[in-house]
Structure 1
Amino acid sequence: MKTPESVLKKEATQAKIQKAQAEATTAATAQGVADREAFAKQAQTYQDEYAAAEKAAVDNRRAAKVAGGFYVPAEPKLALIVRIRGTIGVSPKAKKVMQLFRLRQLHNATFVKLNEATIRMLRLIEPYVTYGYPTRATVEKLIYKRGFGKLHKQRIAIADNTVIQEGLGQYNIRCTADLVHEIITVGPHFKQANNFLWPFKLSSPRGGFSSKTKLLHFLEGGEAGARGDEINKFVKKML
């Protein structure tokens, strides 16, 4: 019995679809392997860059000490802000600044590029936040442990590099190492990278803090305001 022509056409179409799917799977697998190799190589490049910068800082401090002088490092370009108080009693201006910094909820944390304007804004909201200069390790932990990206106005966990590629690939930020590097160095696409990152939702600090210390400035034994490098210890208790 002769097979109907419609059946033959259907089988041919299915075979064509299966072949295309197999080719797409093979290509995707090959691309994935190539991407992983490229990302690993890029990450190593960044590690070498960080190591060279640290070595240069140590060498400069030693040279300054030998010469009888002091080594003054460059001014920090990046700050990490953590909201530690609620909205009760917040002035409209301070509330607006916290909205601009995307600190809409208690224990939210965001990065900010330091310049004259943002420093003035930070001083305005000092009673409600604490901030300082994050290390590379802190930035990495925040992104790896609490990192969520904004894709199509949705909060998507950064479970793999495809999320970063889709959101920031156009800026040549394709993997977590690229994202961390762009944030740490406050690179040319810092604004896009920072806006891609959803505000970090941190936990209440281990051990907590009393209502009295919340109201006092860090320099007075409290929690609020600028705390320099000590922000890294504070955030570690909240991860």
Structure 2
Amino acid sequence: MPRVVPENVQKKQARDAKLLKELKEKRDKERKDRADKRKQVAANAEKYYNEYETQNKEVVKKAREAKASGNFFVPAESKIAFAIRTRGINKLDPKCKKIMQLLRLRQLHNGVFVRLNKATVNMLRRVEPYITYGYPSQATISKLIYKRGYGKVNGSRIPLTDNAIVENTLGQKHGITSVEDLIHEISTVGPHFKEANNFLWPFKLNSPRKGFAEKRHPYHNGGVWGNREIQINELVKRML
């Protein structure tokens, strides 16, 4: 006689088969979605790279044309600065302390991106003796985020090891779905710069190789503090 399978076992087998099928379909869909996202991220990265290269070539072309015609070429003013705290809390007056908190420069060798406008320039100048700042290149911004980038996720400091961390926090509202999108938003000072910059935890940098010389004097007098302009890129390289 054929073996009789109890009805409750049959129902369990049918339920298990249905759940297994749904799980397989879900995994296949997730796998396909991940592949599509990887293609989109790669396409965006290539688009951004071409955009950066075009901008660099345009600057070089204009500089050469100006030199050939005997004129001077002045590049457009930077829209973004990178500020690094160079001194501690000693002799810090309350107003400077408040500005440091607003800039999120709470610890020595902390670094942050700052969008340049009249208000932020005045803030930077007010606390100049305690910071150094300048205009970072796209390559410097990329290195900072890839090497020392941490995101603020539910109040926690999370390393940016996966595009999903960026997408889950900034993707739905602001369309920033990968680390490359984040770098592009920061370097171009895009419409969602504020949200992207607030998502980035202040960078914790090392003491620079070869150290700081003459911390009490401004940079243009051979010291440390103040505006370094494009020379900030060299300092960041020594502090990574």
- The aligned counterpart of 1:56 is 58
Q: Deviations over 1:94-146 (max 9, x none)?
A: 11111111111111110000011100000111111110011111101110011
CA shift for structure 1 position 3: 3.4
Q: Deviations over 1:18-67 (max 9, x none)?
A: 22221111111111111111111111111111111111111111222222
Q: Does 1:20 align with 2:58?
A: no
Code of the aligned partner of 2:116: L
- The aligned counterpart of 1:162 is 164
- The SS at the match of 1:73 is coil
- The SS at the match of 2:239 is coil
CA shift for structure 1 position 201: 0.8
- The aligned counterpart of 2:153 is 151
Supply the distance in 1 between the matched residues of 2:186 and 2:201 (Cα, whole angstroms): 14
TM-score (norm 1): 0.95
Code of the aligned partner of 1:14: D
Supply the distance in 1 between the matched residues of 2:176 and 2:8 (Cα, whole angstroms): 49
| RMSD (Å) for aligned C-alpha atoms | 1.3
Q: Deviations over 1:56-104 (max 9, x none)?
A: 1111112222222111111110100111111111111111111111111
- The aligned counterpart of 1:189 is 192
- The aligned counterpart of 1:123 is 125
Q: Deviations over 1:180-205 (max 9, x none)?
A: 11101101110011001111111111
- The aligned counterpart of 1:39 is 41
Q: Against the structure 1 CA distance between its residues 215 and 5, is the aligned structure 2 distance closer, same or farther, given a 3 Å change threshold?
A: farther
Code of the aligned partner of 2:228: R
- The SS at the match of 1:45 is helix
- The aligned counterpart of 1:140 is 142
**Quick one: percent identity of the two aligned structures?**
50
Code of the aligned partner of 2:110: N
- The SS at the match of 2:230 is helix
Q: Against the structure 1 CA distance between its residues 5 and 228, is the aligned structure 2 distance closer, same or farther, given a 3 Å change threshold?
A: same
Q: Deviations over 1:147-191 (max 9, x none)?
A: 111111211111011011111102111111111111011011100
Q: Please list, as runs of the form range in 1=range in 2, the aligned pairs for 1:62-77 lying within 5 A after superposition.
A: 62-77=64-79
Supply the distance in 2 between the matched residues of 1:5 and 1:126 (Cα, whole angstroms): 80
- The aligned counterpart of 1:223 is 224
Code of the aligned partner of 2:40: A
TM-score (norm 2): 0.94
- The SS at the match of 1:103 is coil
Supply the distance in 1 between the matched residues of 2:38 and 2:181 (Cα, whole angstroms): 13
- The SS at the match of 2:23 is helix
Supply the distance in 2 between the matched residues of 1:129 and 1:15 (Cα, whole angstroms): 64
What residue ranges of structure 1 are gaps of 5+ in the alignment? none
What residue ranges of structure 2 are gaps of 5+ in the alignment? none
Code of the aligned partner of 1:199: P
- The SS at the match of 1:214 is coil
Q: Deviations over 1:185-232 (max 9, x none)?
A: 10111001100111111111122235xx11211111111111111111
Aligned match of 1:177 in 176, 180, 190?
A: 180
- The SS at the match of 2:5 is coil
- The SS at the match of 1:227 is strand
Supply the distance in 2 between the matched residues of 1:238 and 1:187 (Cα, whole angstroms): 27
Supply the distance in 2 between the matched residues of 1:12 and 1:86 (Cα, whole angstroms): 68
